[in-house]
Structure 1
């Protein structure tokens, strides 16, 4: 009878396979790889090197692999005294300063007959079994005391014209953590207000004309509708006329209308609580305030009061709006005021 371990809950629902890109989790990869290099070492006059003594060696020139220096050590009479010079020994040694250098090695004697029957001792082929070899300090070695019997070597194709050729391969292990690169994009400050003003000045895409006195002003329905619920109802509402392309405006000076149109299109786009005071200090606002004091003063003061006291009753009057000089909806009460210059203005309540 199978018993589940305590604290382990059983579930009959299969675990869903994660879809690529389905989550927003982070990822990283630990990567181990080798930096490989080789060296060819030739011993000429092998017969003259025999008899130099057990533990005596012939060293190759140093070569660099993976940022470390290496050298091949060949012992014609062997490295181990107990073998009585019956074997030749071959080692690869760390020839530069370094600690705990992990690497894979391969030592070969080249078949000089051209048949390719090289005598190979390779650590690369056994890496999965034993892993890389660690050299603790300078002079640490990897190799074989009994690389090959000397009597067999001297009768083989490895020795030709009293010459031996050895081949060494070193693979230094390198580890690194790989993480996705986060690329940053510098986003410039928004100049949407200026962009809409330039669009209005260019008259590109204009689809509505306002006639004020003898002057015509072109505008964009979508932009006006986005900034004014009255225009939205007039142009796109159920009671409005979506095909209207001209509006005649009465009782307003053309110059004041032009300022209002620019304000509604461009400056109003800057309306956020943090920017209201900057807008009120601008020269354009001062000019508009002189022409339409009741409209702009009340509008901006209302929003500014929300910033200072978000719990005040004014902060809850977010649905109120004012539109100067136009009564396009045709319903609702109207109030009139006169500015210091004697111009008559209308304000929606």
Structure 2
């Protein structure tokens, strides 16, 4: 569909939104907390195939790309091959449009970047990032003077009458607070040292082994846990189960 756009500026400066009346829930105050802004990012590439045949469409007229989904929202590109406004007649204008129902009063805040792809399919940014709150009143935002047609035609980005534009979009998904729990350092286990001390001292020993005329005090539960043979001998139905000397 070919339409004449509303007159708009190129890219306006945007101040960051203030977050009011957001307080952590729960009882006692944590040692630290965080304010977290959730976001979802994605990319989409639009290929312009037949640049020379599309050129000459007319100043102020655009072609909308197929829609694509990023962050749970539908988007499309507005491509003005002969510029968006009269003073842009020698330029290509590119806009990102939020494909929302005109009757939908909700707003979507997004940060996005437009890049040309080189012959290695790597993005080359010609303009900085934009931050915009899309709404039914302002559905599209971008650059009236993205690149001069002459510059594109003399660049390596246009080959065989084809060039591609990549959109990198980050959609804000909400803000919440959360406590930051203190970091607890868990010391390495020294249980083996304590068990060794019990064995050396013979404390709490409940079984004694006689081997070659020598006696060795031991702990029945430790032997059973470490050896299936000792478990059957000391805890099973064998006679050694109740014996204190083996």
Normalising to structure 2: TM-score of the pair?
A: 0.55
User: Measured at CA, do residues 139 and 69 of structure 1 come closer, stay the same or move farther in structure 2, by a change above 3 Å?
Assistant: farther
User: Measured at CA, do residues 53 and 39 of structure 1 come closer, stay the same or move farther in structure 2, by a change above 3 Å?
Assistant: same
Relative contact order, CA 8 A, sep 6+: which one is greater? 2
Give the 3-state SS of the residue equivalent to 1:33 in structure 2: strand
2:38 corresponds to: 33
1:118 corresponds to: 124
The list of structure 1 runs, each at least 4 consecutive aligned residues, that deviate by more than 4 angstroms after superposition, is: none
Verify: 1:105 aligned to 2:104, yes or no. Answer: no
Distance apart, 1:139 and its partner CA: 6.0
User: Measured at CA, do residues 116 and 36 of structure 1 come closer, stay the same or move farther in structure 2, by a change above 3 Å?
Assistant: closer
Superposed, 1:59-98 pairs within 5 Å as: 59-83=64-88, 85-97=89-101
Distance apart, 1:70 and its partner CA: 0.4
CA contact (8 A) 2:126 2:146 kept: no
CA contact (8 A) 2:115 2:123 kept: no
- Relative to its length, the structure with more strand (as a share) is 2
2:152 corresponds to: 153
Distance apart, 1:50 and its partner CA: 0.8
The CA deviation string for residues 219-247 of structure 1, in whole angstroms up to 9 with x for no partner, is xxxxxxxxxxxxxxxxxxxxxxxxxxxxx
Is there any run of 5+ residues in structure 2 with no aligned partner, and where?
A: 1-26, 180-246
1:50 corresponds to: 55
Give the 3-state SS of the residue equivalent to 1:146 in structure 2: strand
Cα distance in 1, alignment partners of residues 161 and 40 from structure 2? 34
Cα distance in 2, alignment partners of residues 71 and 81 from structure 1? 23
Cα distance in 2, alignment partners of residues 78 and 69 from structure 1? 24
- Relative to its length, the structure with more helix (as a share) is 1
Figure out how many residues of one structure are paired with residues of the other and give that number: 150
Which has the greater radius of gyration?
A: 1
User: Measured at CA, do residues 115 and 149 of structure 1 come closer, stay the same or move farther in structure 2, by a change above 3 Å?
Assistant: same
The CA deviation string for residues 140-159 of structure 1, in whole angstroms up to 9 with x for no partner, is 11210000011111111111
Distance apart, 1:118 and its partner CA: 1.9
